[in-house]
Structure 1
């Protein structure tokens, strides 16, 4: 992000720190003796792991607007790029606040069942809203994609503008976040004694692994190239490059 000066990836980086801190809290809880668990590590892992994907989503929303500007495809977008980013990011902030508020209610609930149910319902509402928001976002991206393929702009046909690859990056990352959110909705809907919440493997398979895949995918298919092209700068290759070295005689 710093190398390409693509600051729209800042929420993604902050989300990575959230995941890191959350799983430190989970490891701290796991290291405590059975029956002697303290509230602090539990709250840390609950809040930070729950909130991180909302930050990932914010960066994904901002990337689509820049793809539209890059190819000059404003006429193909059903929402103007300058409004698209604002609308989806504001919606993502609302989801973030709902999730944070629900987590805060749970942290203060202690042994009060009614307060616990309220916290769970707020979190479920935030997750469902995030799913609906993502579904709308994917629909907007897919319509733009179809229109661009039907009537491509001159900029989109230039070899350095790999706009379909950028959209593929968003589809994969978005799909992984949707899978994670569906898992979380079902988990919280089942309650504290539900099957998913009482089996630790599920959080790693359907939450930790998809979010690791999102970060790995966005690192490999790095969207920083979009920012460079928008500023008229040269792009550089990601990954490793083999260099043939001819030994001296």
Structure 2
């Protein structure tokens, strides 16, 4: 049984990470990412590319898968910096790419049902605003995760990670509010396109609500984890990470895979082509 090792006299880990758990989730994320990538290629729903990349990032390689590969390799290498660094960065940042994809889907839904006037934020700015916030938090957390490796900068890195996570919580919360307002306004004054059977926009909104809730829980868990600090229960134990991060993000990928927004992409593209043709005739 491996024992905890130190790195330059400093414990990187508070426990020996479970190889079995890491392998199980890296395989789950690999399978989910492969499925999403196949559907993106087959249905040409390129707006979901960030979602597939996010799947690779949560464990320790392209964003979700690589994070857990590194975590599995750290089982008997708890005194080595590289596995710890990779899993820490990739698992922390993966969900930001999930959030970026759901932001883009809402914009397509609003355009598809021609509900631009019901949007809390102008549609031309909607996706840009939320994705920009996501990128900002991504960069903050990415830089902070690197700082936490140094014992001298660990405290500053921890504070920056908390700030980056709070930025994500604020933007995701605002996004949920924007969804609710749009749906309420559409329900009161539905557009003709809202009754089209080609776009199951209400079903997709329900999916976005569920996925957003799971991601929000994960963000709040991470905020609590870093606020409690290295001596806190959440960082001292391994099981919370798998319950409130790995499991929730795996559920997000499965839900999005079952309710893949291919019709949102196809319908909005069809509407743009039709509008261009009408403009040409005019």
TM-score between both structures, scaled by the size of structure 1: 0.88
Match of residue 4 from structure 1: 43
Work out whether 1:140 is the aligned partner of 2:178. yes
Q: The residue matched to 1:219 in structure 2 has which SS?
A: helix
- The 1-side partners of 2:248 and 2:112 are apart by 29
Work out whether 1:31 is the aligned partner of 2:76. yes
Q: Is the 8 A contact 1:77 1:143 kept in 2?
A: yes
Work out whether 1:213 is the aligned partner of 2:251. yes
> Aligned-pair distance for 1:222?
0.4
Match of residue 225 from structure 2: 187
Work out whether 1:57 is the aligned partner of 2:99. yes
Match of residue 168 from structure 1: 206
TM-score between both structures, scaled by the size of structure 2: 0.78
Q: Is the 8 A contact 1:66 1:81 kept in 2?
A: no
Match of residue 148 from structure 2: 106
Match of residue 40 from structure 1: 82
Question: How large is the RMSD of aligned CA atoms in angstroms?
Answer: 1.2
Work out whether 1:226 is the aligned partner of 2:264. yes
Q: The residue matched to 2:42 in structure 1 has which SS?
A: coil
1:188-209 CA distance string (max 9 Å, x none):
1111121101110000000000
1:67-122 CA distance string (max 9 Å, x none):
00000001111212111011111111101001101101112x1x33xx21100000
Of 128, 133, 149 in structure 2, the residue corresponding to residue 86 of structure 1 is 128
The total of aligned residue pairs comes to: 226
Segments of 5+ residues of structure 1 without an aligned counterpart are: 234-249
- The 2-side partners of 1:121 and 1:130 are apart by 14
> Aligned-pair distance for 1:228?
1.1
> Aligned-pair distance for 1:212?
0.1
Segments of 5+ residues of structure 2 without an aligned counterpart are: 1-39, 58-63, 272-282
1:13-72 CA distance string (max 9 Å, x none):
11111111000111111233xxx5201000010000000000111111111000000000
Runs of 4+ with deviation above 2 angstroms? none
> Aligned-pair distance for 1:5?
1.3
